[in-house]
């Protein structure tokens, strides 16, 4: 926890405030709505108390292209049944291509083993138009699903925009996913088209994924068309596939945008599969458009022609968020490769070479740079850099300090937190307010977020459950294949009726700054990447000697993580080094290296509820030092004595 009076690390100058997109919006509200706000907090309070007026102002301020007018801003139905801008017809991709200039490139792409590539707005437009024509010629229609097994490359952006332009639904996974992870996700949405690579490069090595692709295709029985990108210049994987270059040579005329309902799906993202199969979280064209315009403009302050970078893969929602900066005419800078190859300076070198204005990364990367004693501000010319954004896990105070000591004293550090759930951030940057050590600046406009105690009462200067009490248009419209929204309600609304409980520990200070202290549920936040416990169990269960298992991930001080895996073995079996190596190999093969635990611990019994649910969250609380009677409801347990082991083991946690 940060101190009650942390130091101020950055104060926006009057010039920064006056020239911010947020200040322009506040002036617009004064001139067009007669609304005057003395500071950001007053503006935020209005945005969450009068949600209709606020979201209507966003719709009008950004001049949303609507092919049919809406009947009302939102219905009175409680979450998750709130309906937004009913009657409106629009297209997210149409807003990306309006009024763009050739003065700046649309995409700058850098990858391991490749020369830097620049793509102009005209080139992007033409390739999207060609791919959209190919998709339509292949039978892809509005509402059909197009999926991608791709690295962070321009083809992924082109594929998404093409699918979006015709009203098809996009979904992607990065090629470091194993076949089980990919199929578990894509199979749910019955895709018609797959765009894939033959492999990828990472850390100076090539990873051939042809066998994985063949397995994925064999298991996705709804596929009609497969487009291959020879990323490693290997031979063709499947005889029935179409080469990417051939697909984008399709003749085309204009890029035509299909108007869709405000609530029609734009893409499907996935939860980490904590309680079984990953949830197919479905977002809407309109809700995503409004949220992205708002957040990119007001909370990241991105302007036309600026260069926006975030280190991400196509399997993380930040990839989708990066595409949003195209909405305001920014240049997106894509990187495909390891952030540590040939060393940790590779991304800072890129920030210099490509004159990046906004640099996005994860808290663990900042901590790694700090521990390596890097000094980017000394070693590189970063004069264009305006902001550094961090998300994925809480950034410790030491990480804040390193940015201002080793990068620049005059830099806006935007620590932010949101999630796959809304494909945006609930809390993050505010160009009108100072940056305090270890604290997120503010709650985002339109996000009625609070810290609740167990009784549902708001807390200040005390840690509680992160909740959102008012609906937002970027909340999922539904989970795919979830009749009656049963899984949707179970995911967010079980603890507090009609109130979104996000699953993070949150502290709101008296200054309205925020500190997030890790997950309050069982989701594993592994170095900024969300991993589901169900994925771990699914893989480990393939090892015959393992009877049962339980895994948690602890977020420790200084940005450290500790992920122990507890296993119950068959009688007479020993937990030896070969078995530990077998577990690691199995997890890496099925999923990714991030799934490999820090240690494997033998236990005799694992805690379960009476109804048969494995109790990961109580175990995590115990290992973090919470008394057992406050960590678990012993009366609802099938075997309360099983917790004794974890109480003892908590003394061995490397705090």
269 shares its domain with 224: no
DSSP character string of 400-420: HHHIIIII-SS-EEEE-EEET
CA distance 311 to 358: 11
Identify the CA nearest to 553 among candidates 575, 585, 531, 580.
Answer: 531
247 shares its domain with 278: no
CA–chain centroid gap for 144, Å, is 23
Tell me the per-residue pLDDT of 173-203, one tens digit each, with 9 for 90 and over.
999 888 888 999 999 999 999 999 999 999 9
617 shares its domain with 648: yes
Domain boundary (468, 495, 519) is at 519
233 shares its domain with 319: no
User: Is the per-residue pLDDT at 272 higher than 70?
Assistant: no
φ/ψ of 158, rounded to 5, equals -65, -45
SS3 283: strand
302 shares its domain with 336: yes
pLDDT of residue 630: 83
User: Is the per-residue pLDDT at 407 higher than 70?
Assistant: yes
pLDDT, mean of residues 304-314: 96
Whose structure tokens read 């139905």? 77
Residue 35 confidence class, pLDDT cut points 50, 70, 90 = very high
Q: Is 29 within 8 Å of 37 (Cβ atoms)?
A: yes
pLDDT of residue 635: 66
pLDDT, mean of residues 43-65: 98
The CATH number for 579's domain is 3.30.300.30
The CATH number for 43's domain is 3.40.50.12780
Q: Is 30 within 8 Å of 43 (Cβ atoms)?
A: no
The CATH number for 125's domain is 3.40.50.980
Domain boundary (469, 485, 519) is at 519
139 shares its domain with 218: yes
Instruction: Tell me the two tokens of residue 249.
Output: 């040579």
73 shares its domain with 151: no
241 shares its domain with 269: no
The mean predicted confidence, pLDDT, of the chain is: 93
Tell me the per-residue pLDDT of 467-486, one tens digit each, with 9 for 90 and over.
999 999 999 999 999 999 99
Domain boundary (194, 224, 258) is at 258
Q: Is 452 within 8 Å of 506 (Cβ atoms)?
A: no
307 shares its domain with 436: yes
pLDDT, mean of residues 54-74: 98
User: Is the per-residue pLDDT at 539 higher than 90?
Assistant: no
449 shares its domain with 590: no
pLDDT, mean of residues 375-381: 98
pLDDT of residue 527: 63
pLDDT, mean of residues 427-446: 97
pLDDT of residue 274: 39
User: Is the per-residue pLDDT at 530 higher than 70?
Assistant: no
pLDDT of residue 141: 98
Q: Does the residue 195 lie in any domain?
A: yes
Residue 1 confidence class, pLDDT cut points 50, 70, 90 = very low
pLDDT, mean of residues 308-316: 94
Q: Does the residue 181 lie in any domain?
A: yes
User: Is the per-residue pLDDT at 492 higher than 80?
Assistant: yes
CA–chain centroid gap for 488, Å, is 18
466 shares its domain with 541: no
Higher pLDDT, residue 237 or 534: 237
Q: Does the residue 107 lie in any domain?
A: no
User: Is the per-residue pLDDT at 517 higher than 80?
Assistant: no
Give Cα separations from 460 to 505, 520, 573 (angstroms).
13, 18, 51
User: Is the per-residue pLDDT at 371 higher than 90?
Assistant: no
Q: Does the residue 420 lie in any domain?
A: yes
pLDDT of residue 82: 98
Q: Model pTM? A: 0.85
Indicate the DSSP class of residue 547: E
φ/ψ of 562, rounded to 5, equals -140, 120
pLDDT, mean of residues 27-56: 98
pLDDT of residue 275: 41
Identify the CA nearest to 252 among candidates 129, 142, 127.
Answer: 129
| Domains: count for the chain | 3
User: Is the per-residue pLDDT at 615 higher than 80?
Assistant: yes
Tell me the per-residue pLDDT of 164-179, one tens digit each, with 9 for 90 and over.
999 999 999 999 888 8
Identify the CA nearest to 601 among candidates 557, 646, 642.
Answer: 646
Identify the CA nearest to 188 among candidates 319, 265, 279.
Answer: 279
Strand partners, 149: 173, 196
Give Cα separations from 601 to 582, 598, 618, 646 (angstroms).
14, 10, 17, 11
Q: Does the residue 369 lie in any domain?
A: yes
What beta strand segments (E) does 65-192 contain? 89-90, 107-111, 117-119, 145-149, 169-173
CA distance 487 to 464: 24
What percent of the chain is predicted at pLDDT more than 70?
96
424 shares its domain with 277: yes
Q: Does the residue 527 lie in any domain?
A: no
- Give residue 142's domain range: 120-258
CB burial readout 191-215, b (16+ within 10 A) else e: bbbbbbbbbbbbeeebeebbebbeb
Q: Does the residue 254 lie in any domain?
A: yes
Q: Does the residue 109 lie in any domain?
A: no
pLDDT, mean of residues 106-114: 95
């Amino acid at each position: 926890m940060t101190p009650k009076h942390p130091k101020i690390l950055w104060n926006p100058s009057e010039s920064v405030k006056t020239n911010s997109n947020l200040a322009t919006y506040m002036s617009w509200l004064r001139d067009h709505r007669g609304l005057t706000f003395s500071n950001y907090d007053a503006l935020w309070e209005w945005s969450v108390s009068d949600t209709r007026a606020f979201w209507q102002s966003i719709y009008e301020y950004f001049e949303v292209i609507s092919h049919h007018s809406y009947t009302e801003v939102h219905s009175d139905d409680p979450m998750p049944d709130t309906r937004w801008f009913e009657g409106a017809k629009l297209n997210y991709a149409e807003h990306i291509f309006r009024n763009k200039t050739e003065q700046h490139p649309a995409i700058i792409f850098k990858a391991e083993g490749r020369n830097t590539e620049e793509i102009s707005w005209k080139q992007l437009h033409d390739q999207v138009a060609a791919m959209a024509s190919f998709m339509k010629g292949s039978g892809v229609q509005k509402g059909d699903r197009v999926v991608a097994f791709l690295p962070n490359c321009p083809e992924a952006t082109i594929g998404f925009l093409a699918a979006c332009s015709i009203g098809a639904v996009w979904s992607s996974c990065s090629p470091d996913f194993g076949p089980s992870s990919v199929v578990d996700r894509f199979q749910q949405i019955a895709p018609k088209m797959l765009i894939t690579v033959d492999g990828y490069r990472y850390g100076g090595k090539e990873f051939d994924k042809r066998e994985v692709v063949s397995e994925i295709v064999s298991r996705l029985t709804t596929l009609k068309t497969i487009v291959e990108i020879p990323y490693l210049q290997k031979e063709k994987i499947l005889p029935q596939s179409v080469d990417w270059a051939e697909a984008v040579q399709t003749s085309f005329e204009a890029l035509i945008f299909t108007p869709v309902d405000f609530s029609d799906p734009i893409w499907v993202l996935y939860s980490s599969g904590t309680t079984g199969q990953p949830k197919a979280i479905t977002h809407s064209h309109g809700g995503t458009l409004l949220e992205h315009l708002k957040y990119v403009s007001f909370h990241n302050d991105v302007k036309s022609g600026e260069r926006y970078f975030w280190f991400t893969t196509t399997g993380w929602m930040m990839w989708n968020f990066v595409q949003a900066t195209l909405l305001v005419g920014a240049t997106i800078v894509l990187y495909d490769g390891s952030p540590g190859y040939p060393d940790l300076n590779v991304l800072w070198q890129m920030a210099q070479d490509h004159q990046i204005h906004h640099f996005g990364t994860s808290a663990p990367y900042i901590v790694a740079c700090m521990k390596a004693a890097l000094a980017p501000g000394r070693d590189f010319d970063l004069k264009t850099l305006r902001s550094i954004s961090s998300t994925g896990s809480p950034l410790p105070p030491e990480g804040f300090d390193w940015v201002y000591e080793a990068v620049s004293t005059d830099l806006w550090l935007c620590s932010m937190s949101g999630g796959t759930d809304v494909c945006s951030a609930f809390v993050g940057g505010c160009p009108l307010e100072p940056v305090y050590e270890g604290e997120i600046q503010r709650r985002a406009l339109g996000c009625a977020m609070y810290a609740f105690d167990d009784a549902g009462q708001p807390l200040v200067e005390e840690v509680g459950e992160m909740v959102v009490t008012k609906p937002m248009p970027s909340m999922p419209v539904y989970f795919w294949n979830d009749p009656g929204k049963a899984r949707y309600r179970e995911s967010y609304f079980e603890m507090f009726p009609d109130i979104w409980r996000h699953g993070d520990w949150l502290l709101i200070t008296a200054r309205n700054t925020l500190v997030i202290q890790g997950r309050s549920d069982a989701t594993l936040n592994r170095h900024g990447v969300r991993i589901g416990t169900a994925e771990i169990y699914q893989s480990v269960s393939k090892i015959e000697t393992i009877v049962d298992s339980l895994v948690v991930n602890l977020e420790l001080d200084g940005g450290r993580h500790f992920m122990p895996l507890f296993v119950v073995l068959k009688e007479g079996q020993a937990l030896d080094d070969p078995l530990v190596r077998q577990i690691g190999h199995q997890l890496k093969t099925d999923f990714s290296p991030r799934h490999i635990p820090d240690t494997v611990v033998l236990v005799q019994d694992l805690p379960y509820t009476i109804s048969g649910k494995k109790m990961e969250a109580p175990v995590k609380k115990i290992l973090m030092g919470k008394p057992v009677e406050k960590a678990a409801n012993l009366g609802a347990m099938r075997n309360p004595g099983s917790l004794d082991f974890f109480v003892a083991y908590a003394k061995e946690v490397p705090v």
